[in-house]
Structure 1
Amino acid sequence: MPDNWVSVPVSELFYLNPKSEIADNIHIGFIPMACVDDGFSGNHYFEKRIWKEVKKGYCHFQNGDIGIAKISPCFENLKSTIFQGLPNNCGAGTTELVILRPINIYAKFYLYLFKSQWYIDEGTKYFKGVVGQQRVHKGIFTDLHIPLPPLVEQQRIVTEIEKWFALIDQIEQGKVNLQTTIKQIKSKILDLAIHGKLVPQDPNDEPSIELLQRINPDFTPCDNGHYPFDVPNEWKWCKMNDLCSFLSRGKSPKYSEDDKTYPVFAQKCNLKEGGISLEQAKFLDPSTINKWDSKYKLQTGDVLVNSTGTGTVGRTRLFDESCLGKYPFVVPDSHVSVVRTYEEINSEYVFAYMSSQLIQQYIEDNLAGSTNQKELYIRHYMD
């Protein structure tokens, strides 16, 4: 510590858990643990109550007091605050808060001290109780020695802390704004791509109608004017089914509790942050292997679309067999649809198309089922 600082026990700087004496009919602020924010903000909220309803069985506090959660994990999550704005300068709340009333010190400096990793580490050394109901030892609020800088320096330190915190908040908000911008730009790129405006049109390219008729000699072209936007003359609108060798929902598997040989691809394997992982996959009962046709074994280039579940339906990823690792193959469950194109079709283009805002909105508009279990039927992929 600096030479002009001293080390003193907490009890020298605060009154511990003071009591209030006010008239029974006075309105006060009531604060359960849920009304104290965790982290560094120090924010809290309150409910208006009549004093006589809460004066017994709860802790008491007033504006300017510090409240610190003593129960785990609230203590480690930095649930602590300086009470302010309380009606009639009085409050009551959960007994899982320890109340410290400052004595001629700058409370905000000590709120930040109580949120420091050093203080949290000191508190967690002396947990008492069973796991899930552990509380810090009372000594952390009384006997523990903490630094005491001069009062003016306490205030200067808080000013400096809040200056840096404000800068960090700006950086965090900038990061959020950047992520939003990145998402918008990616969406715009996909939009340009599916409209035929991302790259120049080459008159030497094979017309799309020839590609489609090579895949299926009986293919009948559609009138481009029937569809939602114009495409280049060399392009043709077609149904997804015209491009696919396999287009189907997966099947309902019978799972194995013990055998970990054959993973089943479920919605959660299509990661929210992007990509694919089999880490959370369940496994197929080996005795049911013969019930799965080989076409259900996922292949590199398969476009996988979550077909059920509010918040996950429409999530689209491109499968690559490299994610199999040690597993021989993986099959999809009934909540995932497989879009497998013919070899002549670039599956990455279909993946980009399925990921575009146009198709994601189409999926959203054609969902069926209840609010909690939205579903996209396979026929909508075929249209």
Structure 2
Amino acid sequence: MTSEWKTSPLRDLVGFISKGIAPSYADEESETTVRVLNQKCNRNFRITYSESRLHDLARKKVPAERFVRIDDILINSTGAGTAGRIAQICNLPCDTIVDGHMIIIRANDKVSQKYLGYAMKAHQWEVLQLDEGSTGQTELNRERLLDEIMISYPTSFALQETIVKTLEGIDRKLLVNEEVNDNLAA
């Protein structure tokens, strides 16, 4: 399968980018609460809900486009050592938003969302270098993220999908290996 490849700044491949909101936290779940992901939820290229909190929509509305969707790319945007961590949402167990310390990215029509997620994760080391500011109060420079991170991609969506399927297979094997290691350790 031959395909033309292009390399573009991330800016040219993004259809939506938004920082999260400042939540109005709730202590207990109700019909008006949704889960809020924060930078503690983003580790090792994965999102976990164990550190998530609750936001009360009755106290503060959230625009529909800021709700997390399957395959959204989430990047920690603040914090020394955490700004620049990248993960992609694989499952969405409930209505979810992100707080102001995370960025949501969605692809435009040049690349598939999953392909862009894997491509960005491959550049995590570079993204981790884009934080600026004083100690402990560092912030990911969004303009530099969009302009300096160069993404190579095949123009063929079929080839993008083939690459994604291969990488998803590797991810599944890694998860199985982690489960086996955890069982052996127990």
Common fold: TM-score over 0.5: yes
Match of 1:122 among 106, 119, 126: 126
Alignment of 1:60 with 2:102, yes or no, is: no
Instruction: Using the aligned pairs only, state the percent identity.
Output: 18
CA distance in 2, matches of 1:8, 1:54: 37
Alignment of 1:12 with 2:17, yes or no, is: no
Kept in 2, the 8 Å contact 1:18–1:101? The answer is no
- Between Structure 1 and Structure 2, how many residues are aligned? 166
CA distance in 2, matches of 1:47, 1:154: 35
State the Cα RMSD in Å: 3.4
Matched residue of 1:143: which SS? Answer: helix
Find the structure with the greater CA-based Rg: 1
Task: Give, in angstroms, the shift of residue 70 of structure 1.
Answer: 1.5
Kept in 1, the 8 Å contact 2:86–2:124? The answer is no
Alignment of 1:132 with 2:127, yes or no, is: no
Compute the TM-score of the two structures, normalised by the length of structure 2: 0.68
Alignment of 1:7-46 (within 5 A): 7-14=7-14, 15-17=16-18, 27=32, 29-33=34-38, 36-44=41-49
Residues 33/63 of structure 1: CA separation in 2 closer, same or farther (3 Å cut): same
Residues 157/55 of structure 1: CA separation in 2 closer, same or farther (3 Å cut): same
Task: Give, in angstroms, the shift of residue 98 of structure 1.
Answer: 1.2
Matched residue of 1:132: which SS? Answer: coil
Structure 2 letter corresponding to 1:17: S
Per the alignment, residue 73 of structure 1 pairs with 81
Residues 53/5 of structure 1: CA separation in 2 closer, same or farther (3 Å cut): farther
Task: Give, in angstroms, the shift of residue 130 of structure 1.
Answer: 1.0
Residues 166/135 of structure 1: CA separation in 2 closer, same or farther (3 Å cut): same
Per the alignment, residue 292 of structure 1 pairs with none
Residues 113/34 of structure 1: CA separation in 2 closer, same or farther (3 Å cut): same
Matched residue of 1:167: which SS? Answer: helix
Structure 2 letter corresponding to 1:101: R
Task: Give, in angstroms, the shift of residue 123 of structure 1.
Answer: 2.0
For residues 5-54 of structure 1, what are the alpha-carbon distances to aligned partners after superposition, in whole Å with 9 as ceiling and x for unaligned?
111222222222189xxxxxx94633141562411334447656443423
Match of 2:177 among 171, 174, 177: 171
CA distance in 1, matches of 2:131, 2:170: 32
The answer for unaligned runs of 5 or more in structure 2 is: 21-30
Alignment of 1:227-238 (within 5 A): none
CA distance in 2, matches of 1:8, 1:178: 44
Alignment of 1:94 with 2:99, yes or no, is: yes
The structure that is strand-richer by fraction is 2
CA distance in 1, matches of 2:124, 2:88: 15
Alignment of 1:112 with 2:118, yes or no, is: yes
CA distance in 1, matches of 2:183, 2:56: 44
For residues 301-325 of structure 1, what are the alpha-carbon distances to aligned partners after superposition, in whole Å with 9 as ceiling and x for unaligned?
xxxxxxxxxxxxxxxxxxxxxxxxx
Question: Looking at both structures, which has the greater relative contact order when contacts are Cα pairs under 8 Å and sequence separation is at least 6?
Answer: 2
